[in-house]
Amino acid sequence: MGIEILVFLLVGIFAGTLAGMFGIGGGVIIVPALIATFIYLGFDQVITTHLAIGTSLASIFFTGIASAYSHNQKKGVIWKTFYPLSVGIAMGAILGALVASSVSGNNLRYLVGVFLLIIAIQLILSFEIKDSKKQSNFSLSILSGSGIGMASSIIGIGGGSFTVPYLRYFGYEMKLCIGTAAACGVPIALFGSLGYLYTGWGLENIPSMSLGYIYLPAVIGISATSIFSAKIGVAIAHSLSDLVLKILFSLFLIMGALYMLAI
């Protein structure tokens, strides 16, 4: 198990740094890395993608707490926006896990790639558009949170790829969007991973040391390093301008999308 544990630790470093920088959970890094590792370990490829997504969400829970805490220390979380969003996120994340259980692994990978590419294009096209000063409301926040939670749970990410553009639409500065998205990643990860635990429970082709679609050695290895590297990512985010953060965020999404569509 030596090589794969090293892989999990390295993945945690990269995922944590990206989580802190962009308000994401790091699933865009974690899911592809876990798929490759699980194939190398000889796990049944029928469940490889679902196992990677469930494990990613469980890891993101710990990364998200560390990232959100660090952003909050720098007053980078909009809590009045977080609370109604989190209500919808909880419902959507559970529903997303149930939906994903009926989707094939290949189709799930394509969904990851397409979603990220769409979000990246949207963010790039809005570079020169003035931020909206519209106000969200409780009902809209719950509805939007449900969509964010469901989509994030289906593809195994912390939701920052969706939450950041959503918050930008309402005129919040990039650092606040990233910090709030990091906080939103915690309920996504919690309720999404519980959904994957339930849908994968009792399956015969699940590897040992797993709880449903959650592979515990990977969760432990990734979390062990990501909770520390998230602080580094937060420090980087607060040292960069909004424009630089948006450009880096868009490039990151495009690379993740192309990778997922190619594997």
For the chain, which residues make up each domain, given as ranges? 2-262
Q: What angle do CA 161, 44, 194 make, to 5 degrees?
A: 45
Residues 214, 236: Cα–Cα separation, whole Å: 31
pLDDT for residue 140: 86
Do 108 and 227 meet the contact criterion of CB atoms below 8 Å apart? Answer: no
Do 196 and 212 meet the contact criterion of CB atoms below 8 Å apart? Answer: yes
pLDDT for residue 128: 45
Q: Global pTM?
A: 0.82
pLDDT for residue 133: 56
pLDDT confidence bin for 189, thresholds 50/70/90: very high
For 43-60, the pLDDT digits (tens) are 988 899 899 999 999 998
pLDDT confidence bin for 187, thresholds 50/70/90: very high
Q: Which H or E run includes 214?
A: strand 214-215
Give the CA distances from residue 79 to residues 71, 82, 177, in Å, rounded to whole numbers and listed in that order. 12, 5, 11
pLDDT confidence bin for 28, thresholds 50/70/90: confident
Q: What does the pLDDT average to over 249-257?
A: 78
pLDDT confidence bin for 106, thresholds 50/70/90: confident
Contacting residues for 22 by C-beta, under 8 A, at least 6 apart: 160, 164, 178, 181, 233, 237, 245, 248, 249, 252
Least reliable range by pLDDT among 60-64, 205-209, 256-260:
256-260
Higher pLDDT pick, 27 / 56: 56
The rounded mean pLDDT for the chain is 84
For 113-148, the pLDDT digits (tens) are 787 787 778 767 765 445 555 666 778 889 999 999
